[in-house]
Amino acid sequence: FGIAFRQMVGDTVVNPAGDKCFGTVYESMHTLLLSGTIMDGTFDIVQALEEKGILYAVMFYIFILLASLTVMNMLIGVLCEVVSTVATTERETMAVNYVKEQLQRVMQRCENQKDGDWHITKEEFSQLLDVREACAALEDVGVDVCSLIDNIDFIFPEEADDGGQITQ
């Protein structure tokens, strides 16, 4: 559009300050950005284009329409991405809360938490994985219970000889 306006109207269209609006391709793009996309001083440019010919004003209106639709589509895309991200985060939070509630209920019923501190030991975890409801809750959120059982020694490493402190 910048090149087209430069070729069609050239130096003949000036803004109220006396500056050429379409004298060079840079000026054309600058005018189209400010007056056509951001809509700053659109009336003055349209009025000057109408004096040159109604076809030029119609072409400027087409540019405004296309620029507005482009900006609107970009904003809709950003909005959709934000909504999608928030929905994913909420879904994950709900899944974590569901598993937490299920496991706490199973632990209370099976009396796994004898000490009442809600810190789980290796033995308590092994007993928890023997309960079908706990395994079902973990599988509902995509946890492979068999792999969890296989890796229990990695999750709960043996106590170190130095009083439980891990050394390098």
Greater confidence, 123 or 54?
A: 54
Per-residue pLDDT, 80: 97
Taking the model in full, what pTM does it have?
0.57
Per-residue pLDDT, 162: 39
Q: Are 32 and 2 in contact (CB under 8 A)?
A: yes
> pLDDT digit string (tens) for 28-78?
888 888 888 888 888 888 888 888 889 989 999 999 999 999 999 999 999
Q: Are 130 and 152 in contact (CB under 8 A)?
A: no
Give CA 1 to chain center in angstroms. Answer: 32
Helices 132-140/122-129 angle, 10° precision: 90
Per-residue pLDDT, 160: 40
Per-residue pLDDT, 116: 61
Per-residue pLDDT, 167: 34
pLDDT band at 164 (very low <50, low <70, confident <90, very high): very low
Greater confidence, 91 or 34?
A: 91
pLDDT band at 115 (very low <50, low <70, confident <90, very high): low
List the structure tokens of 19: 């500056």
Helices (H) and strands (E) in the chain — how many of each? Answer: 8, 0
Helices 54-110/132-140 angle, 10° precision: 170
Tell me the average pLDDT across 89-104. Answer: 88
CB neighbours of residue 25 within 10 Å: 13
Alpha carbon distance 108, 47 (integer Å): 78
Residue 44, amino acid: D
Mean pLDDT of the residues in the chain: 81
